[in-house]
Structure 1
Amino acid sequence: MFARDIMTKELITVSPETTVDQAAKIMSEKNISGLPVIDEDNRIMGIVTEGDLLGKHKKIDPPGYIEFLGGIIFTESQDEYFEQLQKYVATKVVQLMSTDVVTVTPDTPVEELPTLMDQKEIKRVLVTEKGKLIGIVSRADVIRALS
């Protein structure tokens, strides 16, 4: 059995200009946990997930600092803080989506998917052919196929 045999082919996707509120509404209404973000040529730009939406609403703690001789010295990296801040103010999917998307081909054996999902700590993989999105396989799909 291969990814093509268990993938969902009727895809629900969004464009990078979809608002965060629209994406949340789609996920809620369709009872799905992630939406591929594609361009006009059906090429994957990223994915927006429940985790991304939750991250937008989590409390943001500024980096620690100490005052020394009239100056401020940060005791931890500011990069993570600014990344969280950018997600907090995001209004479009393109500002919130994850761009590190894991893809497989239609010929990927189903038996390889649990290891891949575990190693990458993801809940779904996108199935591509010739650089274009053709399906999605969730953990639930894999469990059904293996049981």
Structure 2
Amino acid sequence: MLRAQDLMTENVIAVTKDTEVRELALILTENKISGVPVIDGTGKLIGVVTESDLIFQNKKVHIPTAVAILDAFFFLESPEKMEQEMKKMSGVTVGDIYAPEVISVQKDTPLDELATLMAEKNIHTLPVLDKEELVGVIGKSDIIRTIAEGR
């Protein structure tokens, strides 16, 4: 059975929280990839940023619904969520838009688990770790290429 280490791209293109959004867009388009890991100054994986995060910046602003009762306003949605969305939409650096909730796999994770995880969690970029060290990345195109090659 194929494992993550058999499919992953080892020359990982990663960014930091200080990478500008425009530079991120160039990295993704020039390398024809849909996302990259975000690392800290020591090289530790702290998140992932994808094309979806860039596209999010151009969506319409959603104003939370409020109800007025006896001269008081009650928001039906969290004002904190709106604040987070506004920050993400106006983000200038990767630190403003990346997803810190990282879903990653170990290098010995079997192909069927990779495919299931990517499909069920709608993941496009999956960092591959050897214990805590970032050693590769798997994109949906890597899974598709494996299928096409009949492996």
TM-score between both structures, scaled by the size of structure 1: 0.91
Runs (4+) of structure 1 exceeding 6 A deviation are none
Q: Unpaired runs of 5+ in structure 1? A: none
Q: What RMSD, in angstroms, separates the aligned Cα atoms of the two structures? A: 1.5
What is the aligned length?
A: 147
Match for residue 39 of structure 1? 40
Q: Unpaired runs of 5+ in structure 2? A: none
Match for residue 70 of structure 1? 71
Matched, 1:141 2:142: yes
Matched, 1:96 2:67: no
Output the CA distance in 2 between the equivalents of 1:69 and 1:111: 56
Output the CA distance in 2 between the equivalents of 1:103 and 1:19: 24
- In the TM superposition, residue 80 of structure 1 has moved relative to its aligned partner by 2.4
After superposition, give the CA deviation of every residue in 1:73-103 in whole Å (9 maximum; x if it has no partner). 2233323212211101211111210011111
Output the CA distance in 2 between the equivalents of 1:124 and 1:75: 33
> What SS does structure 2 have at the residue aligned with 1:51?
helix
Output the CA distance in 2 between the equivalents of 1:74 and 1:2: 47
Match for residue 118 of structure 1? 119
Output the CA distance in 1 between the equivalents of 2:54 and 2:79: 22
- The one-letter amino acid paired with 2:46 is M
CA contact (8 A) 2:50 2:125 kept: no
CA contact (8 A) 2:104 2:128 kept: yes
> What SS does structure 2 have at the residue aligned with 1:67?
strand
Output the CA distance in 1 between the equivalents of 2:34 and 2:89: 19
- The one-letter amino acid paired with 1:16 is K
Identity between Structure 1 and Structure 2 (%): 35
Output the CA distance in 2 between the equivalents of 1:56 and 1:3: 32
Output the CA distance in 2 between the equivalents of 1:60 and 1:94: 20
> What SS does structure 1 have at the residue aligned with 2:128?
strand
Change in CA separation of 1:40 and 1:74 when aligned onto 2, cut-off 3 Å: closer
